[in-house]
Amino acid sequence: MMMCFRKLTLSLVLTLPLVGYAFPTEKEGFNLVGHLGNLSPYQKAPVPNGIKEELPGDCKVEQVMLMHRHGSRFPLASELPFITNLVSKLSNHSSTIQKLKLEPELEFLKSGYVSTLGHDDLTGPGRKQLFDHGVAFRLNYPDLQATSILAGLQDRVVESAQWFAEGYFGRSWSGLNSTVFSTIPEDSATPSWITPSNTCKGWQYAFGNNLTIEWGTLYIPPITKRLNKLLPGVNLTNDDIHGALYACAYDLAAHGVSPWCNAFEQSEILDFEYELDLLMVGAFGYDLPGKMGPVLGALFVDKLIQRFTDTSSSAQQLYLEFGHDTTIDFALTALGFAKDTPLLSAKGPVRANRKWRTSTQVPFAAQMVWEKFTCSSSFKGPQIRLLLNDSPFPLSTCKKMDRKFGSCALNDFVEVNKASTSISWGDSTWNSTCGN
């Protein structure tokens, strides 16, 4: 029996904050917008069982490094044609659709489905996500002062950093303080911990894997067959179904509402989520060949450790940096987090308990926040912890992770990540991995 999702009304979207919001569905226990992979709107990640969110009262955060994904965006230029071709197909068959007796979840097609989506750029909800996060960040660390902001040189990333700064400093921030706003190119010539793969020639070849294509040949045809029975004469193709799934996610990203989300069963949404997980783990994670994923992510981990072990006067209290979901996924891979054994397979099955979950790891406007803190009695020496999307993420690879807070001693963290700190851009490990 088909599961119908309650239609998401615009008024509901506008009255709920984009930080940590969730929409109810008619099927209790299933949150649609929390299962759209890396295309999910921002939500607070689940807090691991037994982990406390607040540090002990005798602890003080002394240094913070933020890596922030850009906010909700329009489809990529490579994705948009799936949606526009679907719109064209439906328009060409409008007379056929008018004659059909449609199920409630498809009734919207009689009024016509028109898409006004652009491509690549930040959306209205994306701007709000970053502004709200800037305000929240200021409130979370009132005693620490930012002196610089760094953004990957791509329009949606730069705009995201600007909206964050508006929320953090106020609308005239650029003229009222000495904070330096800078960018780092995202090209094949500039080494960067934000976009490490751009300078790795070997990655360009590995990126062309067929993980998601293979999975798509398994799960999409049954959806195509089901919807064609409900829409006889329209002759939907597998690409059209892909377009409808994208329309669900990207209408939400741009408008906060999509009639297409109602057209899919819960299992079909979960299959789409798995496709997006496969894409990210195959191109920016553990399913890259050899040690490529950890090597590329090592640039971020090395930068983090450099900063948190820097006792000189040049060490900043806050590092505010903006990049992509790929930045965070590479970092998690280098750290050995969210690793599935065996690795995720393009042939399935979809493991409900898998560790690699882009919906909670890297939704739009994802926040990877690293804290260095010291305590008068609870812990000895500098400690480190990770907050991923507003929830503690246990540093499970440390030899002595604290089970209450998911943190560990900074020295322990440095020791367990020696492999990352031993790699630098252009060295023998990098070149042998990337074929440079």
CB 319 within 8 A of CB 145: no
Average pLDDT, the chain: 91
According to the model, what pLDDT value does residue 409 have? 98
Number of helical (H) and strand (E) elements in the chain, helices listed first: 16, 8
Instruction: Convert the pLDDT of each residue in 192-211 to its tens digit.
Output: 999 999 999 999 877 755 67
- Closest to 426 in 3D by CA, of 189, 204, 206, 195: 189
Instruction: Convert the pLDDT of each residue in 206-223 to its tens digit.
Output: 775 567 788 999 999 999
Q: Is residue 12 part of a domain?
A: no
Please say if the pLDDT value at position 395 is more than 50: yes
Q: What are the CA-CA distances from residue 353 to residues 38, 43, 335, 344 (Å)? A: 17, 19, 20, 11
- pLDDT-based confidence at residue 44 (cuts at 50, 70, 90): very high
Q: Is residue 300 part of a domain?
A: yes
Q: What are the CA-CA distances from residue 50 to residues 47, 110, 369 (Å)? A: 8, 50, 20
In the block, which residue shows the tokens 């397979």? 345
| Count of structural domains within the chain | 1
Q: Is residue 42 part of a domain?
A: yes
According to the model, what pLDDT value does residue 4 have? 35
CA angle 222–206–72, rounded 5-degree value: 65
Residue 90, domain CATH: 3.40.50.1240
According to the model, what pLDDT value does residue 11 have? 26
According to the model, what pLDDT value does residue 8 have? 31
Q: Is residue 9 part of a domain?
A: no
Read off the pTM.
Answer: 0.92
| Residues 252, 258, 260, 262, CA torsion sign | positive
CB 305 within 8 A of CB 238: no
- Helix H or strand E encompassing 205: helix 201-206
Instruction: Convert the pLDDT of each residue in 53-70 to its tens digit.
Output: 999 999 999 999 999 999
Q: Is residue 5 part of a domain?
A: no
According to the model, what pLDDT value does residue 371 have? 98
- Closest to 154 in 3D by CA, of 126, 179, 187: 187
- Domain range for residue 77? 18-46+55-434
Q: Is residue 320 part of a domain?
A: yes
Q: Is residue 337 part of a domain?
A: yes
- Closest to 293 in 3D by CA, of 197, 435, 188: 197
3-state SS assignment for residue 309: coil
Q: Is residue 8 part of a domain?
A: no
